[in-house]
């Protein structure tokens, strides 16, 4: 038969250096006002908790949380390199938009100018991806809306 293993935990002794570090930490927390903030928060904890729960227990708050989760899940499907490219393009587009607004009034291209725009291959090559994106969004909006996971869960409970 195996022998029982005996192990005694030796208590860690408080050294002077440890006590000095702890005192220094407390002094710094006090000087920064963090100890007062934490104490006030702990004293008001029941009221703060009730306030938070009351705020979260509203339809708008639940919708906001579900929308935020859907946004995060959607962003999770986008590789970071593509998202970086998207944000760079969005920034460049915003900058160009502002610069276009700051320019003096532009005249309408007229019939001949519009005709030339219709035959501008470089312009159309840049417009096609935007048109494809709008078609894709329109197709997605034509589909019936999917229920978020929380809504699916609620409807399953009601039918059970």
Spans of all domains in the chain: 20-56
Judged against a pLDDT cut of 60, whether residue 156 lies above it is answered with no
If one counts every other C-beta atom within 10 angstroms of the C-beta of residue 35, the result is 14
Band of the pLDDT at 1, cuts 50, 70, 90? low
> Distance between alpha carbon 95 and the CA centroid of its chain, in Å?
23
pLDDT of residue 155: 57
Say what percent of the chain tops pLDDT 90.
29
CA dist., res. 42 & res. 35, Å (int): 10
Predicted pLDDT at 82: 92
Mean pLDDT for the chain overall = 84
pLDDT reading at 127 higher than 60: yes
- Is pTM beyond 0.75? Reply is no
Q: Which two tokens stand for residue 119?
A: 């035959």
Structure token pair of residue 38: 């934490």
Distance, in Å, from the CA atom of 54 to the CA atom of 61, rounded to the nearest integer, reads 10
Query: What letters, b where the CB count within 10 A reaches 16 and e where it falls short, cover 122-149?
Result: eeeeeeeeeeeeeeeeeeeeeeeeeebe
In order, the DSSP letters of 77-142 are TS-HHHHHHHHHHHHHHHHHHHHHHHSPPPPP-HHHHHHHHHT-HHHHHHHHHHHHHHHHHHHHHH
- CA 125 distance to own-chain centroid: 33
Report pLDDT for 80: 93
Gap between the Cα atoms of 67 and 148, Å rounded: 9
């Amino acid at each position: 038969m195996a022998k029982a293993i005996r192990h005694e935990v030796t208590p860690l002794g408080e050294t002077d250096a440890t006590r000095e570090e702890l005192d220094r930490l407390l002094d710094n927390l006090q000087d920064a006002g963090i100890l007062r903030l934490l104490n006030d928060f702990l004293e008001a904890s029941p009221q703060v908790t009730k306030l938070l729960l009351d705020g979260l227990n509203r339809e708008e708050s639940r919708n906001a949380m579900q929308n935020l989760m859907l946004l995060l899940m959607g962003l999770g499907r986008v590789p970071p390199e593509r998202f970086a490219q998207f944000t760079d393009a969005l920034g460049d587009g915003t900058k160009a938009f502002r610069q276009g607004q700051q320019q003096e009034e532009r005249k309408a291209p007229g019939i001949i100018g519009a005709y030339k725009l219709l035959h501008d291959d470089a312009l159309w090559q840049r417009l096609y991806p935007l048109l494809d994106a709008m078609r894709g969004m329109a197709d997605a909006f034509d589909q019936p809306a999917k229920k978020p996971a929380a809504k699916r869960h609620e409807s399953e409970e009601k039918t059970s």
